[in-house]
Structure 1
Amino acid sequence: MNKLHTGSVYPWHTELEKFIERLDEQLEIGLNRVEDGWTHQRKLAVLEKLVRAYTPHQDENGAIIDPHSDSERYYSTPSYALAAAVLVKEGRHDLLESAAAALTHSIACVVEEKAPDHHPDFFPIMMMGAYRLLKNLLPEQATAWKQQLSQIQPEDTYIFTMSKMKNPNRMINWNAIMISGEFMRAAEGIAADSEWMETYIRSYHLPRFTGLGLYQDGPLDRPNSPFAYDIVTRFHLGVMLEAGYDGGCAAELRDHLHRGALSSLLTLSPHGEIPPRGRSAQHQWNEAAAALVFTTHAQQAFAAGEHGLAGAFRRAADLCWQAIGRWQTDEGKLHIVRNHYSSETRHGFEVYSNHTCYSLWTAAALAYTLLHGADLERISPCSIPAEMGNRVLETDGWFQTVIATVDGQQMLVQTSVNDPYNIPGIVRIQRSTLPPLIGPSSAGHADRGFTGFAEGDIFPLSYTPAWQTEDGKWHSLSEGIPGTLGFDRDGGIDPLDGGGSVQMEQSTTSDGETDFTLLWKGPFPGVWEIRTQYRQVPGKIEVTYELQGNIQSVGALIPLMAYDGRERSVIHHVMSAGEEKESIRVEYAGASLEVIPATKGTNVVWPEELASVACRNGLLKGARLECEGSCISFIIHLPA
């Protein structure tokens, strides 16, 4: 496992080997089989309920009409066509006519250059998947479909091509998504060949992969690297490989995707969620794409005789289904972002997020997962890394995230200091025995970027150091370092702009414990150096901040889950009887979390600007711990 097909060392190979070795040892003595109940039939039921929720919204032309905007949006219809076609394959023959109508309409949209919201690049992967499933059931319609599909000229039909963009920096996930479907069209003999794709893959996509196999989306010279567009691009390229792609880039691409699958496995949370950094974070389709990645790699590992790793991949796929399933409504639709606000309010939605489109794209991705998971049932699920073992992982490239895990518990620290859309500090804490959002599960923002909120203030709130300068003003690390250029949400940022640096000063793990220290340097107001230490054991995280500079007081910002769109937390400011000691307790969804100051003389303050802070999951309420000196410590208690 040290060396992959390229012969180069996988950056996290030591931690991966430790996990697999421990897993295999337990399996040899009959331990670590996980009965999680996520059978093929249970997954199929989730998909069917989701698809049938939108069947009543299909019009006479086969289009799926979004009930909130009364129009067809983005790639809802081809997504529905694929998902319904997979259900037909599974025996739901009453959906055949509906699936065929959606496919007919989708093909016409692309050929006639009438794709809703100018998103034709997303259509071919869904259209060709549905075509392959339906062509033998409806041979006469298949002849018409094939004739129409043959009219597509990629450089003219699609948007993210060099013919249209004339800019290599714009060959982002859209282009890879289009190519994956176009390969399937060529494989069906409908397109002349697929050789033209090789230049795109080799010149514009392979260079974006890091050593960890993570795909850096955004301009080539300064990718903004959202985890959502890493996983979704790997999803599409993986479907292309599953469809038989064996071109000149296949071996290198397969290596990258294998590395990426291992990295996703090592970073998946105990609740089955991928890291939240970047735009489109915490949208359900993130985990739907991850489910396909884990499913296909579970089968590959099993075929290679790596049964423990196969079981972990299987469990990861199941947890992704579970992460999505908990947000499915009684009628079958999804809360497309992880909060309970009504979809009309668009809380936590990106400017491009659409309820029907992202519900159905999630359905389509899950449909592909079932389609390519024929052998998954013979693999017994085993614990994933977040459920077993201790590790501290630092991402490469521009993903700027540290992931620390102990048994069943994970914390994420973002290290970007000049990106107002991805603020530094602890941005997510999850424990398997607690509700996923209580940690909390997302931070605030210095700039909302793509994201809109129904309520709440925009404020950079995360677990992060704070300090009072000699002029009496309070500052925090989460404010970051302003760059010399304005924030460009589309173009990304240069991590070195504005100065500043972050480095892992030390990192150790032992049985049941992780301990690491980050050293932050830069032109912070009144401060030139910040040292943050994080010690984690199951149920407890100890945090210490040490600042070097000209300051009056030291502090710590504390983000607290306040409201998820349906349920409000109860937040207590606790004064210990007979002691001059304060703490904070949050009660949410039948569980609790406590923040306990560990430095003598610490006070809990409730700044007005932190009373109601918007985040993807709803609203946060912020507190600030304050004390004299230059060092402060506190404990985050996560009772089981």
Structure 2
Amino acid sequence: MSSYTATATYPWKNELEKYRALAAEAGSASADGWSRERKLALVKQIVCAYTKYQDSHGAIIDPYSGMERYYSTPAYAMAAAVLVDAGHIELLDSASAALSYSIDAVASGSAPDNHPDFFPVLMMRAYMMLRSYRPDQAAIWAEALRTIDPENDYVFTMSKMNNANRMINWNAIMISGEYLRWSEHLASEDTTWMDRYLEAYHLPRFTPLGLYQDGPLDRPNCPFSYDIATRYHLEVMLDGGYEGAVADALRERLNHGAFSSLLMLSPLGEIPPRGRSSQHQWNEAAAAYVCSVHAKLAMQAGDSVMAGAFARAANRCFEAVERWLMPDGRLKIVRNEYAPEKRHGYEVYTNHTCYNLWTAAALAHACLRDSDEGIVQFYLPSEIGNRVLQADGWFETVLASVPGQQLVLHTALNDPYTIPGLVRVQQAGLPGLIGPSAAGHVQAGFTEFAEGVVRPLSYCPAWKTTDGVWHSLAEGIPSGSTYDRDAGIDPANGGGSILFKVATRTGESSAENELQETVTAVSSNIVKSPTELAARTAAEQATGRTAEEATLNHEENDFEVIWTGPLPGMRSIITRYVQQADELMVTYTFEGEIEAVGAVIPLMFSDGREQAVITYTEHSVRTEYLGAYVESTIQDAKAVIQLSPQEVASRNGLLKQARMEVYDAQQLTFTIRLGRI
């Protein structure tokens, strides 16, 4: 069998190949019920929910604002055009009217909310799908499309901004559509100008893992949402035949990014949360397209295992979106149950209509590249084997998975939006929000909340200093500069650092084990002190196991994050995680002058419709929600648990906080269990 894989420079190459071997050994997975017909039916439900909001000119009107917003109309045109080509001819007039209106908006400079950069890929795909059905109208469309001048008709161009830091996802998304326009012989210039933009402003943003760092070039803020959205559009460009000056370099980065997406996908089909626009449905719709493209490429390369894995990943992304379908066919565009008009967890720019239709368009794109016909599915990385992965660049994220369960930790100490700690626990067969699935914030950034206070809340260490004040790691450290929600924060700012360590087997046939170390953030020369070594020994004694013993279990992870920096009263904190499918054991070891140690436990409380039931005893706290539970239990007999009545705002609704406290100690251990009631 041929191998569809990453190059030798790919940082997760070993993990990718270990996964491939496990998947091949396990054999094919059972079918999941996702056919192309079912996928198109999901797209149709969303599209038809908005047909009634189309005005006499072809524009889609947002029912909440009474206006056309952003790129709702071209997204509708594109998704409806795919449905027309799939046999839903009743949508032809509606799709054609939306396309005509969209082309006129760009040509006349009247795109809603000054967002023309998102139009071209949607317009061009709709044009390519509809022209054979309306040949006379297609000639009019083509004539208007030929009048577009990219440098002057779009917003995020160097002619308009003259600022390299502003050549962000908007510019890449625009270029993908402009390539399609050129490929259809509707543009006078060749691809040289696109090559220049890609080489100067977009290729440098990619990490070795193939992740796209959005935000200013010198201070990327790295939302996973705009990583996947940008890669989705650049994949459209490559899939459309782009072979310009940087095609090979772009192809390698996108291939690496696709493998990273596969390895990071949760068992529920969700990409990791981080940064603005996380947990919007279009995140997974974009991932569905990327996975569909690479299922096809793997199949063409003769690699049935990777083809089956990518096809299953695409299906799981569709399922993640379908889960939030409302009875009228629209989606809850953010993963909570608040009414859309409440805008809970929305960004200031989130529009319910636009993002529903942008999601539908991305899913429609995935349907065009659907490759599961004839492809036998293979288990996902989150369903088989165990791995601990550290994202590169400024993504500052650690992901750990055992079969059916994934943890997501954020390690940024100085970012008041993306706070440190364990922020997500997701498990197959359980509600996605119960873990919980999102953290609180020090500052809300772009995000709006209908209720709840904004405060940092994650699974993280807490401690009481000698002045009687409680602190938590989630509070982070000052970065030394004013928070700017448009830009990222250099991990070195503020003087903090982390040391990430994972127990790993070295050599397939060797019984020897070692602790593999990766240093991030400030210091590249961190030396283990005697106190740190003693703390690790104490942590191993608390769990009754050594790191070496943990490596013998292929369905268990054992890893540490050591936090140092200007933390009040604290020199360093070691957080150790031993993850098994039925239990997560967490040990915090503190080095500092303190009165008590603690563990902050975030509790899912409300999704905006369903309220969880929270109970606690002296040693455990339990959340029950939608027939499932999460229970955290502290191991120290002297411990007490404090439950705060305060309701904390999160993307998914409201959280509450419990704090486990142990006095006259330097360490504590607790377990987390999830299951069905």
Instruction: Identify the TM-score tier after normalising by the shorter chain.
Output: over 0.9
**Kept after mapping to 2: 8 A contact 1:392/1:507:** no
Kindly state the Cα deviation for residue 13 of structure 1 after the two structures are TM-superposed.
Answer: 1.0
Query: Do residues 597 (structure 1) and 597 (structure 2) align?
Result: no
In structure 1, which of residues 237, 240, 255 is the aligned counterpart of residue 237 of structure 2? Answer: 240
Instruction: List aligned pairs for 1:94-113, cutoff 5 A.
Output: 94-113=90-109
**Kept after mapping to 2: 8 A contact 1:2/1:9:** no
Structure 1 equivalent of residue 557 of structure 2:
514
Kindly state the Cα deviation for residue 9 of structure 1 after the two structures are TM-superposed.
Answer: 2.1
Query: Do residues 175 (structure 1) and 212 (structure 2) align?
Result: no
**Kept after mapping to 2: 8 A contact 1:4/1:255:** no
Structure 1 equivalent of residue 672 of structure 2:
636
Query: Do residues 355 (structure 1) and 376 (structure 2) align?
Result: no
Residues 3-41 of structure 1: CA distance to partner in whole angstroms, max 9, x if unpaired? Answer: 967x542111111111101111222xxxx3221001111
Q: Distance in 2 between matches of 1:115 and 1:221?
A: 30
In structure 1, which of residues 468, 472, 478 is the aligned counterpart of residue 474 of structure 2? Answer: 478
**Kept after mapping to 2: 8 A contact 1:424/1:480:** yes
Q: Distance in 2 between matches of 1:67 and 1:277?
A: 30
SS in 2 for 1:548: strand
Q: Distance in 2 between matches of 1:412 and 1:516?
A: 13
Structure 2 equivalent of residue 455 of structure 1:
451
Structure 2 equivalent of residue 117 of structure 1:
113
SS in 2 for 1:452: coil
Instruction: List aligned pairs for 1:65-80, cutoff 5 A.
Output: 65-80=61-76
**Kept after mapping to 1: 8 A contact 2:77/2:122:** yes
Kindly state the Cα deviation for residue 512 of structure 1 after the two structures are TM-superposed.
Answer: 1.5
Query: Do residues 621 (structure 1) and 656 (structure 2) align?
Result: yes
SS in 2 for 1:621: strand
Amino acid at match of 2:581: P
Q: Distance in 1 between matches of 2:191 and 2:555?
A: 51
In structure 2, which of residues 215, 218, 235 is the aligned counterpart of residue 218 of structure 1? Answer: 215
Gaps of 5+ in 2: 505-550
Kindly state the Cα deviation for residue 467 of structure 1 after the two structures are TM-superposed.
Answer: 0.6
Q: Distance in 2 between matches of 1:438 and 1:343?
A: 21
Structure 1 equivalent of residue 306 of structure 2:
309
Kindly state the Cα deviation for residue 260 of structure 1 after the two structures are TM-superposed.
Answer: 0.4
Kindly state the Cα deviation for residue 495 of structure 1 after the two structures are TM-superposed.
Answer: 1.4
Structure 2 equivalent of residue 186 of structure 1:
182
**Kept after mapping to 2: 8 A contact 1:3/1:10:** no
Q: Distance in 2 between matches of 1:402 and 1:600?
A: 31
Greater alpha carbon shift after TM alignment, 390-399 vs 592-601: 592-601
In the superposition, the TM-score normalised over structure 1's length comes to 0.96
Q: Distance in 2 between matches of 1:26 and 1:464?
A: 36
Q: Distance in 1 between matches of 2:39 and 2:501?
A: 44
Q: Distance in 2 between matches of 1:361 and 1:505?
A: 40
Query: Do residues 385 (structure 1) and 381 (structure 2) align?
Result: yes
Amino acid at match of 1:25: E
Amino acid at match of 2:472: S
Aligned structure 1 segments of 4 or more residues deviating by more than 6 angstroms: 1-5
Structure 1 equivalent of residue 129 of structure 2:
133
In the superposition, the TM-score normalised over structure 2's length comes to 0.91
Amino acid at match of 2:631: E
Q: Distance in 1 between matches of 2:129 and 2:202?
A: 29
Residues 577-620 of structure 1: CA distance to partner in whole angstroms, max 9, x if unpaired? Answer: xxxx5211111001111110012311001235xx2000010000
Q: Distance in 1 between matches of 2:237 and 2:194?
A: 12
Structure 1 equivalent of residue 579 of structure 2:
536
**Kept after mapping to 1: 8 A contact 2:480/2:493:** yes
Greater alpha carbon shift after TM alignment, 140-149 vs 314-323: 140-149
Gaps of 5+ in 1: 575-580
SS in 2 for 1:445: coil
In structure 2, which of residues 116, 138, 153 is the aligned counterpart of residue 157 of structure 1? Answer: 153
Query: Do residues 335 (structure 1) and 357 (structure 2) align?
Result: no
Residues 207-242 of structure 1: CA distance to partner in whole angstroms, max 9, x if unpaired? Answer: 111111000001111111000000000000000111
Label 1:4 to 1:39 Cα distance change in 2 as closer, same or farther (>3 A). closer
Kindly state the Cα deviation for residue 542 of structure 1 after the two structures are TM-superposed.
Answer: 0.5
In structure 2, which of residues 269, 279, 291 is the aligned counterpart of residue 282 of structure 1? Answer: 279
Alignment RMSD: 1.2
Residues 430-467 of structure 1: CA distance to partner in whole angstroms, max 9, x if unpaired? Answer: 11021111100111011000100000000100000001
Structure 1 equivalent of residue 13 of structure 2:
13
Amino acid at match of 1:248: A
In structure 1, which of residues 479, 488, 491 is the aligned counterpart of residue 487 of structure 2? Answer: 491
Residues 405-451 of structure 1: CA distance to partner in whole angstroms, max 9, x if unpaired? Answer: 00100101100000011000000001102111110011101100010
Q: Distance in 2 between matches of 1:4 and 1:407?
A: 22
In structure 2, which of residues 60, 63, 80 is the aligned counterpart of residue 64 of structure 1? Answer: 60
**Kept after mapping to 1: 8 A contact 2:420/2:473:** yes
Kindly state the Cα deviation for residue 376 of structure 1 after the two structures are TM-superposed.
Answer: 2.7
Q: Distance in 2 between matches of 1:332 and 1:475?
A: 45
Greater alpha carbon shift after TM alignment, 93-102 vs 599-608: 599-608
Query: Do residues 207 (structure 1) and 243 (structure 2) align?
Result: no
Query: Do residues 586 (structure 1) and 623 (structure 2) align?
Result: yes
**Kept after mapping to 2: 8 A contact 1:545/1:633:** yes
Q: Distance in 2 between matches of 1:120 and 1:353?
A: 16
SS in 2 for 1:160: coil
Q: Distance in 2 between matches of 1:278 and 1:39?
A: 32
